[in-house]
Structure 1
């Protein structure tokens, strides 16, 4: 699935979606059907930087909104 931004990439790589027969569908484990609003800053703009700063994609099933700005690094086994 093509994505325009690394914010979109974070959502697609997360557990928000399941891959079924080649299509992404919202996980049945998510409590509500809306897609979270995610804004990650300039430090995450390039995919290489994004992957270095987020080595393990966090659990986003309960996320409603996320804004990250500045020199932030994510840890492993996180839930947002």
Structure 2
């Protein structure tokens, strides 16, 4: 689910996990897939299933891109 409903825990939504990923990428600019998974697991238990949908959301919004040779995600600066 993208938006939380009144029955959903706020930390267990795609938007929440996407926010965690985006905060890290804004500070570090690039990060590996494994490090992002570990970060999400530390921040919110049971949120690993929301990791890929959160990445997909950030890709669709044009906020991140994947660098296959380095196996890293990069934050795209919005101007």
**TM-score, length-scaled by structure 2:** 0.25
**Counting helix residues as a fraction of each chain, which structure ranks higher?**
2
**TM-score, length-scaled by structure 1:** 0.25
